[in-house]
Structure 1
Amino acid sequence: MLDTPASEIADMKARVGEASAFLKTLSNPDRLMVACALVQGERSVRELEDLLGIRQPGLSQQIAGLREAGLIVGRKEGKQVFYRLADPRVETFIATMHALFCAPHAAETTR
């Protein structure tokens, strides 16, 4: 950081709020699980509910948080709503988190 030009430091400071909001949104375990499930592709609310074991009222609340943050988008088909990731940074983030915490032997490498 000592060799980082002042202009790059200013850019980092300007973007830190966005990065912090991104991390805050995904820091909720249920929202993180929804994002993880959507990395594999679009899913209906019912599919998410069954897959994640989150009851509909709680799931709706987490989906709303992700939608408001612009991380997911939905589309309606008949009576069903399907969600997918809207921000490619989420997929990169989830892949990194998976490699660090979920992959085989991940716990062994963090010690």
Structure 2
Amino acid sequence: MGLPVLRDDLSDSELDAIVEKANAASAFLKAISHEGRLMILCHLVSGEKSVTELEELLSARQAAVSQQLSRLRLEGLVVPRRDGKAIYYRLADDKPRKMLETVYELFCGDDAE
């Protein structure tokens, strides 16, 4: 699948579909644009983590981690699970993993110089 070509002869419904996808992409990029949220996603790639584990991994306060998790949850990127008093988070689907792989290739791959 390639990039859409914005032509003068697009129907209103085709243009609306492109705008809708652009809005979704923009919301996704805003959600991952914060270093803390990006690092949370990086840690969750390896599997489910509790809020306490994420606090330790990020060296951050619980309130800050919870705030970032809330935004990621609102955007549908992570899913919570409660086990007693502990709350665990995991990636909601494969979209964040694919994005992180792309970011890694862009900024950390052999060609990134």
- In the alignment, the residues of structure 1 paired with residue 88 and residue 108 of structure 2 have an alpha-carbon distance, to the nearest angstrom, of 26
Query: Structure 1 106/36 Cα, relative in aligned 2: closer, same or farther at 3 Å?
Result: farther
1:30 to 12, 36, 40: 36
Q: Conserved in 1, the CA contact under 8 Å of 2:105 and 2:112? A: no
Query: Where does the alignment leave 5 or more consecutive residues of structure 1 unmatched?
Result: none
**Which structure has the highest helix share of the two?**
1
Match of 2:10 in 1: 6
2:72 to 62, 66, 86: 66
1:80 to 83, 86, 101: 86
Q: Give the partner amino acid of 2:41.
A: A
- In the alignment, the residues of structure 2 paired with residue 67 and residue 91 of structure 1 have an alpha-carbon distance, to the nearest angstrom, of 15
Match of 1:44 in 2: 50
- Give the drift of 1:40: 1.0
Q: Conserved in 1, the CA contact under 8 Å of 2:72 and 2:78? A: yes
**Large movers: runs of 4+ above 6 Å:** none
SS at match of 2:19: helix
Which has the larger displacement, 47-56 or 58-67?
Answer: 47-56
Query: Structure 1 53/102 Cα, relative in aligned 2: closer, same or farther at 3 Å?
Result: farther
- In the alignment, the residues of structure 2 paired with residue 15 and residue 94 of structure 1 have an alpha-carbon distance, to the nearest angstrom, of 20
Match of 1:55 in 2: 61
Q: Output the TM-score relative to the length of structure 2.
A: 0.82
Q: Give the partner amino acid of 2:105.
A: A
Identity, % of aligned positions: 46
Q: Output the TM-score relative to the length of structure 1.
A: 0.83
Aligned length: 107
RMSD across aligned positions (CA): 2.0
